[in-house]
């Protein structure tokens, strides 16, 4: 009797579900930059700092905008003065209230006071200057956040292409190991045929082992590079992605021309320079705030009050309005200390702004030189890779004809492998140098992603 078995079906479903859950997707540099923009640790911290500074920029408004306050309280007393006052506020005064005995020995009376208070600052110079300083500080933090995001993008470019470089190095060493194993088999065959000595076979095995060790190291570095890229994107556990097999071709890298050197006015738009200049503006406004502490303040107020024995907002209300001027020409030298501290902060901010401009110009000049040098090294490395491959081919033919030793053959193979690795490293250096030059100019790194 036929009995259907569900085990193969369940197994197939399990494999299908597992394969869907662990599907790997190709990761482009553009996608890596997008992930880091949202999830990068430094970006998130900078965004939090910008939010905090934006909130702090609202604090000076307490000296500019009106405030509304609700007050309530209950008092019960036999104090003659307060007892008569409560009776008067509750609109309960009569002729009997003026009885001397009642005035001197009043019955206990309770009063539930309810009030609405409006306070309107009219002339507070320190608040207005503080508002300007806080606004500049907020904008400086936002500019610093933009600079942080550019730095994160540069880190992602380094990590992404570093991981791709590691993949290419593994592929290069896998090809080198395959060639070394082929050379070893060839040497062993020639030993068996009496065309080579036993030492040739032993040396071939040693050289193949050396290549295998390098391959193991490269695979380990590739795994670390992959985790480093995931960390740079803000998701260290998310390593299920597929990277390109190799770095962009040399022709693509030569299209990444270094950005034109901007003048001083254009360089001033670099986010970190902007942040330093805005911080200086904030310090200057804070200095004016400190000086304004010697000026008088004018504030207005108004209030509505209700007084009733038991009920909030009970009885008739009364209103009060007024204007108050206060002036403290000397407050125990605290205003002197505040002024000197503000002057010190301004001097420090000015020096930092000047340093940011000078450092930006230096970084741009250095990165431009580095990019040009990287392209020159790339051309030399490309020629070296071609020449070493041809030299390896020639030595291999000579070895087959008995005109070269096994050591010469493996040396030629090692030189070719080293040249290919150096060529890959030169392409990586050119990509990173291009990214660094764009960041130094304060430009977006998006065009770097178009090379893949």
Q: What pLDDT was estimated at residue 164?
A: 96
Mind listing the pLDDT tens digit for each residue in 144-195? Answer: 999 999 999 999 999 999 999 999 999 999 999 998 888 888 778 877 877 6
How many residues make up the chain in this entry? 452
Mind listing the pLDDT tens digit for each residue in 201-226? Answer: 788 788 889 899 999 999 999 999 99
Residue 385 maps to a domain? yes
Residue 209 maps to a domain? yes
DSSP string, 379-442: HHHHHHHHHHHHHHHHHHHHHHTTSS-HHHHHHHHHHHHHHHHHHHHHHHHHHHHHHHHHHHTT
Q: Averaged over 17-39, what is the pLDDT?
A: 77
Number of domains in the chain: 1
Structural domain harbouring 352: 26-70+123-299+330-449
Mind listing the pLDDT tens digit for each residue in 343-391? Answer: 999 999 999 999 999 999 999 889 989 999 999 999 999 999 999 999 9
Residue 313 maps to a domain? no
pLDDT category at 5 given cuts 50, 70, 90 is: very low
User: Which ranges in 249-333 belong to alpha helices (H)?
Assistant: 250-254, 264-267, 271-291
- Residue 442, domain CATH: 1.20.1600.10
Query: What residues have CB less than 8 Å from 67, skipping those under 6 apart?
Result: 118, 119
Residue 382 maps to a domain? yes
Residue 263 maps to a domain? yes
Q: What is the residue-averaged pLDDT of the chain?
A: 88
Residue 110 maps to a domain? no
Q: Averaged over 78-96, what is the pLDDT?
A: 91
Residue 17 maps to a domain? no
Q: What pLDDT was estimated at residue 322?
A: 95
Q: Please state, in angstroms and rounded to a whole number, the distance separating the CA atoms of residues 337 and 59.
A: 22
Residue 89 maps to a domain? no
């Amino acid at each position: 009797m036929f009995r259907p078995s569900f085990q193969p079906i369940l197994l197939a479903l399990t494999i299908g579900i597992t394969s869907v859950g662990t599907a790997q997707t190709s990761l482009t540099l553009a996608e890596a930059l997008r992930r880091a923009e949202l999830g990068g640790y430094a970006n998130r911290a900078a965004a939090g700092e910008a939010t905090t500074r934006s909130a702090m920029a609202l604090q000076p408004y307490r000296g500019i905008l009106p405030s509304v306050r609700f007050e309530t309280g209950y008092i019960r007393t036999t104090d003659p003065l307060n007892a008569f006052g409560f009776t008067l506020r509750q609109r309960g005064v009569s002729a009997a209230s003026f009885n001397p005995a009642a005035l001197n020995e009043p019955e206990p009376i309770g009063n539930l006071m309810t009030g609405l208070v409006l306070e309107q600052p009219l002339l507070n110079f320190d608040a207005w200057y503080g508002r300007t300083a806080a606004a500049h500080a907020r904008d400086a933090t936002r500019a610093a956040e933009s600079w942080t995001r550019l730095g994160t993008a540069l880190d992602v470019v380094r990590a992404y292409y570093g991981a791709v470089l590691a993949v290419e190095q593994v592929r290069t060493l896998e090809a080198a190991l395959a060639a070394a194993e082929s050379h070893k088999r060839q040497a062993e065959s020639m030993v068996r045929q009496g065309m080579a000595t036993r030492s040739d076979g032993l040396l071939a095995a040693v050289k193949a082992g050396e290549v295998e060790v390098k391959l193991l190291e490269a695979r380990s570095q590739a795994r670390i590079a992959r985790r480093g890229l995931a960390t740079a994107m803000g998701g260290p556990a998310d390593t299920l992605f597929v990277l390109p097999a190799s770095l962009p071709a040399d022709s693509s890298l030569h299209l990444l021309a270094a950005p034109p050197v901007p003048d001083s006015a254009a360089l001033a738009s670099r986010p970190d320079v902007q942040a330093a200049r805005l911080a200086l503006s904030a310090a200057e406004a804070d200095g004016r705030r400190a000086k304004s502490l010697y000026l008088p303040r004018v504030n207005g107020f108004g209030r509505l009050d209700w007084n009733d024995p038991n009920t909030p907002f009970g009885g008739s209300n009364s209103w009060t309005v007024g204007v108050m001027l206060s002036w403290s020409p000397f407050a125990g030298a605290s205003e002197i200390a505040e002024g000197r501290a503000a002057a010190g902060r301004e001097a420090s901010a000015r020096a930092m702004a000047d340093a940011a401009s000078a450092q930006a110009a230096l970084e741009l000049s250095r990165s431009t030189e580095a990019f040009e040098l990287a392209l020159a090294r790339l051309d030399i490395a490309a020629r070296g890779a071609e020449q070493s491959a041809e030299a390896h081919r020639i030595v291999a033919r000579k070895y087959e004809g008995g005109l070269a030793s096994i050591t010469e053959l493996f040396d030629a193979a090692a030189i070719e492998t080293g040249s290919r690795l150096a060529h890959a490293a030169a392409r990586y250096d050119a990509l990173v140098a291009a990214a660094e030059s764009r960041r130094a100019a304060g430009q977006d790194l998006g065009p770097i992603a178009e090379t893949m």
